[in-house]
């Protein structure tokens, strides 16, 4: 088996500076990429199987039912690159259908990525697997030396693109364009606009897993930044904002309180919101306008029950 693991300089300093800047801002916010420590990765996997969170199941069903058609539309490729691959579960079916020689997976969740990519390499003896532990939003261009020559497919499933505001989503798609290269393609999944009650319920599951995922961010800061957040004094609050076309997730302070983070004090008023995530929802034409603006050309489109996959060249 061919497997290599490269860890880029620790994201620890960025966690500190970005969290302190976000808590000092008004309104307060923390980037959603910091949800994914080990506990956060496990909670996200649990979200994906909640009955209310149809996104992952629907994407899997769409991939499973349309895979031969999607693979035919993609054609022969030399390598797949998956930014934000996490536990590498989504790319397996594509690898089996497309038989690329190379797979490059990138993620900020170092341990989850390393274990999953090594297991995937073990299951595919002919595949050359490279796992790059990095914050790809900052360091995507550092992946260049590890890319195989030839026809590359960038795979970005799971509606992760929805976690970026539209202007940043467009910039990221431009960077994917450069990453893919001349003969490159992009297969991307995104959640569609739908009944707002369904969207609301997906981020307010009855078992409270999304609430635990949101609150785990504070737990992480307690452990990694010597913070003293009292999780009992913050409430998970998520809602669909139809004007902005996005789910917003917040942690609402249930009291007037002062929290210490990395030696600095931050005051929270009663009812004050700490904004932790946006999850944009699109119509197919809205999304393709962003991708075309980023230099891509639509090559294929498949959708099912409120979720879409688009192929670009
Ligand atoms: C990773 N991302 C696409 C998920 C989403 O739906 O925006 C993250 C998530 N947040 C709460 N539930 C799931």
Q: What does the chain come to in residues?
A: 313
What is d(CA 164, CA 306) in angstroms, rounded to the nearest whole number?
19
Mutate to test the pocket of ligand 1, among 163, 245, 287 (most ligand atoms within 8 A of CB): 163
Give Cα separations from 108 to 3, 56, 83, 178, 242 (angstroms): 18, 20, 9, 21, 31
What is the number of the ligand 1 atom nearest to the C-alpha of 160?
3
Q: Write down the pLDDT at residue 174.
A: 98
Pocket of ligand 1 (CB under 6 A): 47, 55, 158-160, 162-163, 203, 210, 277, 279
What is d(CA 119, CA 126) in angstroms, rounded to the nearest whole number?
13
List helix spans (H) across the chain. Answer: 12-24, 38-47, 54-74, 91-98, 110-123, 136-139, 166-180, 196-202, 209-224, 284-293
The angle at the Cα of 90, spanning 216 to 31, to the nearest 5 degrees, equals 35
Q: Write down the pLDDT at residue 9.
A: 81
Which pLDDT tens digit goes with each residue over 251-297?
999 999 999 999 999 999 999 999 999 999 999 999 999 999 999 99
Task: Tell me the angle at which helices 209-224 and 38-47 cross, rounded to the nearest 10 degrees.
Answer: 170
Please state the φ and ψ torsions of residue 192, each to the nearest 5 degrees: -95, 155
What is the number of the ligand 1 atom nearest to the C-alpha of 213?
11
The pair of structure tokens assigned to 96 is 């089996």
DSSP state of 282: B
Output the residue whose Cα is nearest ligand 1's atom 3.
160
To the nearest whole percent, how much of the chain has pLDDT over 90?
Answer: 97
What is the number of the ligand 1 atom nearest to the C-alpha of 202?
12
pLDDT at 190 over 60: yes
Computed over its alpha carbons, how large is the radius of gyration of the chain? 20
Q: Write down the pLDDT at residue 193.
A: 98
Q: How confident is the model at residue 12 (pLDDT cuts 50, 70, 90)?
A: low
What is d(CA 18, CA 23) in angstroms, rounded to the nearest whole number?
9
If you measure from the C-alpha of residue 210 to the centroid of ligand 1, how many angstroms do you get, rounded to a whole number?
Answer: 9
What is the number of the ligand 1 atom nearest to the C-alpha of 44?
13
If you measure from the C-alpha of residue 279 to the centroid of ligand 1, how many angstroms do you get, rounded to a whole number?
Answer: 7
285: exposed, middle or buried (Cβ count in 10 Å: 0-12, 13-18, 19+):
exposed
What is d(CA 121, CA 182) in angstroms, rounded to the nearest whole number?
27
Please state the φ and ψ torsions of residue 175, each to the nearest 5 degrees: -70, -35
94: nearest Cα among 117, 71, 76: 71
pLDDT at 11 over 80: no
Mutate to test the pocket of ligand 1, among 35, 44, 246 (most ligand atoms within 8 A of CB): 44
pLDDT at 202 over 90: yes
What is d(CA 150, CA 147) in angstroms, rounded to the nearest whole number?
9
Mutate to test the pocket of ligand 1, among 203, 236, 240, 281 (most ligand atoms within 8 A of CB): 203
* Sign of the alpha-carbon dihedral angle for 77, 83, 44, 197: negative
What is the number of the ligand 1 atom nearest to the C-alpha of 238?
11
Contact 57, 304 (CB under 8 A): no
């Amino acid at each position: 088996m061919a497997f290599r693991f490269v860890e880029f300089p620790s994201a620890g300093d960025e966690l500190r500076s970005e969290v302190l800047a976000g808590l000092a801002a008004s309104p307060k916010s923390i980037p959603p990429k910091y949800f994914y420590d080990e506990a956060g990765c496990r909670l996200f996997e649990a979200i994906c199987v909640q009955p209310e969170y149809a996104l992952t199941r629907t994407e899997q069903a769409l991939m499973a039912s349309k895979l031969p058609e999607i693979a035919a539309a993609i054609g022969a490729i030399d390598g797949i690159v998956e930014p934000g691959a996490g536990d590498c579960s989504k790319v397996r079916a594509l690898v089996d259908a497309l038989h690329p020689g190379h797979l490059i997976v990138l993620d900020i969740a170092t341990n989850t990525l390393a274990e999953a990519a090594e297991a995937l390499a073990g299951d595919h003896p002919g595949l050359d697997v490279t796992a790059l532990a990095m914050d790809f939003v900052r360091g995507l261009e550092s992946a260049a030396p590890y890319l195989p020559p030839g026809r590359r497919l960038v795979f970005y499933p799971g509606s992760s693109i929805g976690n970026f505001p539209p202007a940043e989503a467009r910039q990221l798609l431009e960077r994917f364009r450069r990453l893919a290269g001349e003969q490159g393609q992009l297969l991307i999944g995104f959640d569609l606009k739908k009944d707002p009650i369904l969207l609301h319920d997906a981020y307010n599951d009855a078992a409270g897993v999304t609430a635990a995922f949101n609150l785990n961010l504070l737990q992480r800061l307690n452990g990694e930044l010597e913070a003293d957040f009292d999780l009992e004094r913050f409430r998970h609050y998520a809602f669909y904002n139809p004007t902005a076309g996005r789910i917003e997730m917040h942690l609402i302070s249930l009291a007037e309180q002062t929290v210490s983070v990395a030696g600095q004090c931050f005051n929270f008023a009663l009812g004050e919101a700490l904004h932790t995530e946006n999850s944009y929802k699109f119509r197919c034409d809205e999304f393709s306008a962003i991708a075309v603006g980023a230099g891509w050309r639509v090559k294929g489109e498949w959708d099912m029950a409120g979720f879409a996959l688009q192929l670009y060249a």
